[in-house]
Structure 1
Amino acid sequence: MKTVPALRLSCGVLFALASIHAWSQTSETGAAATGSAMAASGAMPAKATRQANRALRRKVYAAIVKYKEIDAGKISVIAKDGAVTLDGTVVDESQIDKVTAIAKSVTGVVSVTSRLAVRKPFGGQ
């Protein structure tokens, strides 16, 4: 007698799981169609845009790090669609121009905004 309700319950659970799985596949197909429509229209998906921005930020930062006289640890780089913003501190006025020139020389950089400030190291001259 107890097996009949248990069998009904298990059939109901299986039916619900099958329905959820079928619905999930349908939504994935719709998402793929939407993604291909976005690609056809020329718009980059948000994930690809974020990845491109991160890659550009890393390239600019790597270019700055190559110069040992610049303390790159005190400089932050923000990249958005080719526009790069530099923020932080340097120890000499001439380094502001140097860091800006380095950022402009990186492939993919469209514009550079510098918010760098001069700050002498503690105990420095």
Structure 2
Amino acid sequence: MKTIKTLGLAVATLSVAMSVTTWCQAGEAASTPSSAQGASTTAGSGAAALTGRKADRALRRKVYAAIGKYKEINAGDISVIAKDGAVTLNGTVTEAAQIGKAEAIAQGVPGVTSVTNKLTVKKPFGGM
């Protein structure tokens, strides 16, 4: 009977250890002894990834704010995606000239290396 309980406990412990390792996010060390060696290397890369995400969010906010300063462009219909300095503009504008203007504004923001412009002109209600 003791052997069965011990074996069950060992299986449960192994199951928990595998679950923790599987569900840990990149850069976080699992709380199991088997991953203690790799904790220092994965923690360093995770910190760099977190900094990259923060930088992307900050760049996205800067581009969005720069476009928002121009009242003739409705920035509420434009979404900005930033990844390592590359910016993608999605959404709609009311006039064709605003497409190029939004791209030029985004390109002028410090930290932007390239701009992919996927903006389209919004057709007025009723299709005319």
- TM tier, smaller: 0.5 to 0.7
TM-score (norm 2): 0.64
Letter in 1 for 2:94: V
Q: What is the CA–CA distance in structure 2 between the aligned matches of 1:30 and 1:62, rounded to whole Å?
A: 41
Report the structure, 1 or 2, having the larger helix content.
Answer: 1
- Equivalent residue for 1:9? none
Aligned to 2:109: 106
Q: What are structure 2's unaligned runs of at least 5 residues?
A: 1-29
- Aligned equivalents of 2:52 and 2:36: distance in 1? 21
In structure 2, the CA distance between the partners of 1:124 and 1:72, relative to structure 1 (3 Å rule), is farther
Aligned to 2:76: 73
Give the TM-score, by structure 1 length.
0.66
Percent sequence identity over matched residues?
62
1:82 to 85, 102, 105: 85
Does the 8 Å contact 1:91/1:118 carry over to 2? yes
Quote the RMSD (CA, aligned, Å): 2.9
Say which one has the larger Rg.
Answer: 1
- Structure 2 letter corresponding to 1:84: V
Instruction: Quickly say closer, same or farther: Cα 1:29–1:121, change in 2 above 3 A.
Output: farther
**Secondary structure of 1:45's partner?**
helix
Partner Cα separation in structure 2 for residue 107 and residue 28 of structure 1: 40
Instruction: Give runs of ≥4 in structure 1 deviating > 6 Å.
Output: 26-30
CA distance in 2, matches of 1:72, 1:108: 20
- What stretches of structure 1 of length at least 5 have no aligned partner? 1-22
Can you list the C-alpha shifts for 1:83-124, whole angstroms capped at 9, x where unaligned? 000000001110000000000000000000000001134269
**Residue identity matched to 2:49:** A
Q: Secondary structure at 2:91's aligned position in 1?
A: strand
Corresponding pairs, count? 100
